[in-house]
């Protein structure tokens, strides 16, 4: 059965900024969802301004991987929805956090750090180097992905050391950044992927689309046994 993916987008820049409307007339989520549908995933979208941000109990219960793009309205995401997504991640739902989602409430809650970084909007070019060639998220890629124009994100990136680091980015201005970071939390797998500033056509890039698809496969893979917790009698009788 195809993995069930929900692409969540705040979708506010697209409504208010003509420069973003020009690049993503129907929203970033539709471009990402289309690319994932073409890769064979069972894909749907959800946005901030829908009831319950489009992330009802039913939607999350039938989502194997949630993709998250947010920026200007992180503070508008309700506590109850953050807690609901957090619970599903610990239960085993995959989570792929894109670009400015580094400051989303769900990512900060899962990381436990400020998730702060350096940034600059100045048309830097970016090279995203594969530093872990055996990782499934790097499957089918070359040595590096080149993006002609992107926003710069620079170290230090205040995250816990990734369980696995797949990509490191270099920018024209001289900065570097850990741009592909894997985490495991409970039964859930999380992947943070850096590129995707709203004024650049990054999500039309085939290699970027490939990475997001690979990340869906990796974060959506069944994760181990069903876990139970709490007080317990001994399994083995003594004597
Ligand atoms: Zn940005």
Residue 187 falls inside a structural domain:
yes
Which residues form the domain of 104? 4-113+181-219
Distance from the Cα of residue 23 to its chain's centroid: 20
Distance 138 CA to ligand 1 centre (A): 23
User: What confidence score (pLDDT) does residue 222 get?
Assistant: 73
User: What confidence score (pLDDT) does residue 227 get?
Assistant: 81
Residue 105 falls inside a structural domain:
yes
Residue 152 falls inside a structural domain:
no
User: What confidence score (pLDDT) does residue 131 get?
Assistant: 98
Strand order in the sheet with 176-185: 42-47, 4-9, 65-69, 94-98, 188-193, 176-185, 164-171, 118-130, 144-154
Residue 45 falls inside a structural domain:
yes
Residue 224 falls inside a structural domain:
no
Cβ contact 233:201 at 8 Å: no
CATH of the domain at 56: 3.40.50.880
Distance 236 CA to ligand 1 centre (A): 56
Distance 198 CA to ligand 1 centre (A): 6
Distance 196 CA to ligand 1 centre (A): 7
Distance 62 CA to ligand 1 centre (A): 30
Question: Average pLDDT by consecutive 10-residue portion of the chain (239 residues)?
Answer: 96 96 97 98 98 98 98 98 97 97 98 98 97 98 98 98 98 98 96 98 98 98 82 88
Residue with tokens 């990475």: 211
Number of domains comprising the chain: 1
3-state secondary structure of 235: coil
Residue 134 falls inside a structural domain:
no
Torsion sign over Cα 24, 198, 163, 224: negative
User: What confidence score (pLDDT) does residue 238 get?
Assistant: 81
User: What confidence score (pLDDT) does residue 237 get?
Assistant: 86
User: What confidence score (pLDDT) does residue 187 get?
Assistant: 93
């Amino acid at each position: 059965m195809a993995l069930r993916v929900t692409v969540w987008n705040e979708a506010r820049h697209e409504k208010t900024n003509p420069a973003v409307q020009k690049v993503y007339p129907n929203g970033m989520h539709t471009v990402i969802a289309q690319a994932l549908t073409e890769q064979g995933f069972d894909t749907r979208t959800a946005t901030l301004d829908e009831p319950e941000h489009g992330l009802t109990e039913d939607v999350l219960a039938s989502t194997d991987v949630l993709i998250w793009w947010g920026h200007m309205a992180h503070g508008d995401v309700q506590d109850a929805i953050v807690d609901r997504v957090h619970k599903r991640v610990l239960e085993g739902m995959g989570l792929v956090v894109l670009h400015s989602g580094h400051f989303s409430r769900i990512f900060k809650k899962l990381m436990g750090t400020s998730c702060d970084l350096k940034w600059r909007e100045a048309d830097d070019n970016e090279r995203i180097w594969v530093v872990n060639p055996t990782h499934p998220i790097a499957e089918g890629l070359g040595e590096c992905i080149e993006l002609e124009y992107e926003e710069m994100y620079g170290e230090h990136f205040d995250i816990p050391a990734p369980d696995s680091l797949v990509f490191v980015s270099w920018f024209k201005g001289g900065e570097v950044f850990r741009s592909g970071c894997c985490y495991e939390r409970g039964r859930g797998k999380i992947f943070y992927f850096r590129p995707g500033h709203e004024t650049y056509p990054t999500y039309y890039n085939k290699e970027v689309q490939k990475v997001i698809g690979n990340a869906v496969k990796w974060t959506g893979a069944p994760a181990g046994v069903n876990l139970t917790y709490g007080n317990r009698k001994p399994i083995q009788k003594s004597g």
